[in-house]
Structure 1
Amino acid sequence: MKLKEFLEKNHLTLNDNAKLLFEKLNLDIQILSKLEEKYGKSDKMSKSKHNTVDPDEMISKYGADTVRLYILFAAPPENNFDWIESGIEGAHRFLKRVWNFITENLDLIKSEEKKELNEEDLAIRRKLHQTIKKVRSDIEKNLQFNTAIASIMELMNAISDYKSKNPVILKEVAENLILMLSPFTPFIADYLWRLIGKEGYTINYLFPIADEEAIKETEKEIPVQINGKVRTTIKVKVDMPEEEIKKLALENVQKWIEGKEIVKIIFAGGKIINIVVK
């Protein structure tokens, strides 16, 4: 019988007295977490089972901000969740990414240089204000801290791929990113706030408000089908006339329609083009 089957049959988990055993044998508790993820579900925390997590120990190891961020990200406030070591390590890595983004771009963030915004700059600014709107809504309306934090993480992913490094955008992103994180991780937020040249504490500043104009999409991608099968996509301005969009679509599918008769071009709801040929 496999270990996992034995545990399930006897209604046991790897947490049953295992933490106590590992401690007595001076073994790394993290091994238990990895085994648990592989072989069995977590048991509910209980002093009798010696599987509780010491908050002081976690704070000493990862810092209060990381512990707070992980707890709020792991599940909605009304739900219970299983403490998984890899989860808090992920929260710690995320805060390191934020730290690195600010410190590695500090000179540009503090710069007063003004540069024109290119397409990549506008895309990052759009993502920033979409995030602000989502985070504000999640916190104010539903207290969904986990989805708010997830949105901030998505923003960090977008920033990681940002090549333009326009000081105007970096400054706006840094300031708003820190303020959005401040309810969840106040210590690192306050430190980074002063690091970028601001005064006082983030709690004394207004929470960011999304710029609705920045959120508006200026371009969109439209799939192009030939007889119902998607062959390519085209990127167009949102206000481009329908006839120009159809013309552009035809230019991009010539190799699939060469020598064929175009029966009709269907532009369905402004979202997809289907070119019918025979």
Structure 2
Amino acid sequence: MGKSISFGILISFIFSIASAQEISPYGKFLKDSIMVGEEVQYSLSVKYPLDWYVVFPDSTNNFGPFEYYNKTFFPTRTDSTHAFDSAVYTFSSFEVDLVQRLQAPIYLLNGKDSTTILANPDSVFLKELVTVMPDSLQFIENVDYQEVHYAFNYPYLMIGLGVFLVLLIGNYFIFGNTIRRKIKLYRMRKAYEKFSLEFERGIIKIKQSETNAQLIEEILVTWKKYMEKIEDRPFTKYTSKEILRVGFEKELKTVLQTIDRSIYGAIGDEEMHKNFEALEDFTLERYQTKIKEVKHG
């Protein structure tokens, strides 16, 4: 058994080295310098054999020191032996390093495993708005007389605040749990209404463009952000496989696999909106379950 595991690890290592040597992702910033918080585009492309399955990083990837905004993915181009994929990412940075570098990854899928292959490093320069600091500061004196009014009665104010605090603390101990529960239920309801409206608009857009991979990914991220709130789990950092492992495989396996194929494999589904409608139904059930837990908790 130990020999089989060691042999499998050796084969995987050899495949990773061979893969990294055969393909070379190319990443480049589309301008040389930026200011703090300014958006910058980054191009990532790769050429690979037709029988390979390559996945580009999405919004869940760590692109530090840059913040991810969006991604534009272009259709795959092929010839008799190779395929060519490319995407343009929009980032911004709030770091103050004068030179900021990025080496984006791509992922080569191999059965249940994946191999990370890094693109060439590229960098942008930070534009400095303040280049020279003065040695000293000059202050302007103002010695004009300023009249001060003392009409306000502060002792009465302090007495009033004291009475108010006593009443507030008393109400907190008597009705605290009920108040907190109602506040939480109100916030949950408002958050769900906001999500439901945004998600429904996304489904309408998907009905108009069932195979738009970028749109599908954006709506999926909207769903993950809401699920992260009600489930208190990092859904935005989870892959679909990790989401299924936390206990939702029965409800979401087919739906998430179909969505992933459309995003990462460019395999369209003319009824993609039905998968998002299934996500919408599932989310409503989870919301109702959480509401009951808060009411009776």
Same fold (TM over 0.5): no
TM-score, normalising length: structure 2: 0.28
Q: Which has the higher strand share?
A: 2
TM-score, normalising length: structure 1: 0.29
Higher Cα radius of gyration: 2
